[in-house]
Amino acid sequence: MMMPRGSGRLKLSKMNMGGMGTAMMKKVMRDKHVDSLEDLIRHAIKNGVKIVACTMSMDVMGITKDELIDGIDYAGVGTYLGDAEQSNVNLFI
């Protein structure tokens, strides 16, 4: 499968600076004492942030629930839009 397994293996961008982009960004984050992406997600969930994985996108990309972190919800586009309409802040990534 073409998809990375876990946020630790994600590339920074399509260009990825010849493979160095992610490592450089992680170093800058460490130097600035910024938590890792995994820790930021964990803290967000602990503080009540609702993370919703799109089941259609998961199906298209061949991603299973076992491959994603614990504590997230799963929904289709309609459910997501309904929840987003009722929320104070909505980020679609």
Place 83 in a pLDDT band, splitting at 50, 70 and 90: confident
Evaluate if residue 80 carries a pLDDT over 90: no
Distance CA 62, CA 2 (A): 9
Q: Which domain holds residue 54?
A: 50-93
The per-residue pLDDT for 21 is: 76
Same domain? For 75 and 92 the reply is yes
The per-residue pLDDT for 47 is: 94
pLDDT digits 0-9 by tens, 21-40? 778 888 888 999 999 888 88
Same domain? For 91 and 67 the reply is yes
Q: What is the reported pTM? A: 0.64
Same domain? For 44 and 56 the reply is no
Same domain? For 69 and 90 the reply is yes
Q: Is residue 58 part of a domain?
A: yes
Same domain? For 45 and 55 the reply is no
Q: Hey, which of 23-27, 46-50, 88-92 has the most confident mean pLDDT? A: 46-50
Whether the Cβ atoms of residue 90 and residue 84 lie closer than 8 Å to each other: yes
